[in-house]
């Protein structure tokens, strides 16, 4: 891609996307510019990826053909006020913020903008993100295809209705955190049984990776895959019985619905 990709905010999610783009070879490091108010964040981006960095959000906004808005949602009003006169009419904006609707962002710019609302996740860093995209009415098919190609450079990506965005935050934007907790818990149990910690993380994480690949690649229902692990009278069904008794499924469903509810609340708050 020979367009300049800019990032306003160079924290966890922007770093994961930048790392993913560079690793895929979609854009060279000279084709990426990022601004962050935090000196430490700029230093990390420079050291890890060698991309162009600046403290000046306006410079990033002026330079970028495709501009990612990657600051925390509550900073959108200030940041948009700062950059709105620096973008060009053909700058393609990509917001990755939770709870910032297309209408709220358009309202803050106060004029016609080309905008894609996106929800990626941090596995972008290793080329394994799941991202969702919703364009506004000013984004043409060619521009959307360009944004899809960026997100596909670091994982899977689907274009969805914006009404599904809160559900996406719960099921893929935030869910890596729940999965890491599951991996930590399995590793802790293995450590309790005497396994060295580093080895325990490897075994637990590889089991999660392999199980996810089975769901994605065999087209078999997760329940059937679970049943295939449970030998009659065996070890697995003993564990499954405890997970059911402890309410694992309902804990996950409740947690994810709290996440979605928070995303909706943030959306209401940000539309004021
Ligand atoms: N983390 C994730 O897994 C995901 C995050 N997102 C979205 O990505 C966005 C960023 O989240 P995340 O990367 O986790 O947050 P981070 O806090 O890691 O990154 C945001 C960065 O922006 C900096 N910053 C603060 N104010 C400004 C400013 N005025 N101009 C430029 N930079 C500024 C922050 O500095 P300081 O720390 O000093 O405030 C920080 O370094 C959020 O909107 C979030 O909803 C979406 C999907 C997944
Ligand atoms: O926790 C958050 O608000 C962000 C949005 C999705 C993942 N992290």
pLDDT of residue 271: 79
pLDDT-flagged residues of the chain (< 70) = none
Task: Please check whether residue 72 lies inside any domain of the structure.
Answer: yes
Testing ligand 2's pocket by substitution, the residue of 9, 118, 169, 259 carrying the most ligand atoms inside 8 A of its CB is 169
Testing ligand 1's pocket by substitution, the residue of 10, 13, 14, 104 carrying the most ligand atoms inside 8 A of its CB is 13
Which ligand is nearest the CA of 38, by number? 1
Domain of 184: which CATH number? 1.10.3730.10
Using CA positions, which residue lies closest to atom 1 of ligand 2? 174
pLDDT of residue 173: 98
Co-location of 152 and 186 in the same domain = no
Task: Please check whether residue 170 lies inside any domain of the structure.
Answer: no
Q: Within the chain, where are the H helices?
A: 12-24, 39-49, 57-63, 76-83, 102-109, 141-152, 165-168, 175-192, 197-218, 222-229, 235-245, 248-270
Co-location of 139 and 66 in the same domain = yes
Measured in residues, the chain has a length of 272
Task: Please check whether residue 14 lies inside any domain of the structure.
Answer: yes
pLDDT of residue 1: 87
pLDDT of residue 238: 98
Task: Please check whether residue 260 lies inside any domain of the structure.
Answer: yes
Using CA positions, which residue lies closest to atom 42 of ligand 1? 72
Co-location of 180 and 64 in the same domain = no
Residues whose CB is less than 8 angstroms from the CB of residue 238 and which lie 6 or more positions away in sequence, other chains included: none
36 CA distance to ligand 1 centroid (A)? 9
210-259 pLDDT, tens digit per residue, is 999 999 999 999 999 999 999 999 999 999 999 999 999 999 999 999 99
Which ligand is nearest the CA of 151, by number? 1
Q: Is 272 helix (H, G, I), strand (E, B) or coil?
A: coil
Co-location of 144 and 12 in the same domain = yes
Task: Please check whether residue 39 lies inside any domain of the structure.
Answer: yes
Task: Please check whether residue 167 lies inside any domain of the structure.
Answer: no
pLDDT of residue 272: 73
**ipTM confidence:** 0.98
Given a contact cutoff of 8 angstroms between Cβ atoms, the answer to whether 81 and 64 are in contact is: no
Expressed as residue numbers, the domain containing 27 is: 5-161
Domain count within the chain:
2
């Amino acid at each position: 891609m020979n367009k300049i990709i800019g990032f306003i905010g160079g924290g966890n999610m922007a770093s994961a996307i930048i790392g993913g783009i560079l690793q895929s070879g979609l854009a060279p490091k000279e084709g990426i510019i990022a601004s962050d108010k935090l000196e430490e964040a700029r230093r990390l981006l420079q050291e890890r990826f060698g991309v162009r960095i600046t403290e000046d959000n306006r410079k990033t906004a002026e330079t970028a053909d495709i501009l990612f808005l990657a600051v925390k949602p509550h900073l959108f009003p200030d940041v948009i006020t700062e950059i709105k006169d620096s973008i060009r009419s053909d700058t393609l904006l990509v917001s990755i913020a939770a709870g910032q609707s297309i209408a709220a962002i358009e309202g803050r710019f106060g004029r016609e903008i080309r905008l894609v609302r996106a929800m990626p996740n941090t596995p972008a860093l290793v080329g394994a993100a799941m991202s969702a995209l919703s364009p506004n009415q000013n984004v043409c098919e060619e521009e959307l295809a360009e944004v899809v190609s960026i997100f596909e450079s670091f994982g899977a990506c689907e274009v969805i209705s914006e009404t599904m965005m809160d559900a996406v935050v719960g099921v893929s934007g935030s869910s890596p955190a729940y999965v890491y907790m599951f991996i930590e818990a399995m590793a802790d149990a293995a450590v309790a049984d005497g396994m060295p910690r580093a080895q325990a993380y490897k075994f637990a994480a590889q089991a999660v990776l392999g199980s996810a690949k089975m769901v994605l690649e065999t087209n078999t229902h997760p329940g059937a895959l679970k049943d295939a692990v449970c030998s009659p009278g065996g070890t697995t069904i003993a564990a499954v019985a405890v997970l059911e008794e402890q309410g694992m499924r309902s804990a996950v469903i409740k947690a994810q619905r709290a996440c979605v509810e928070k995303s909706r609340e943030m959306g209401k708050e940000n539309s004021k």
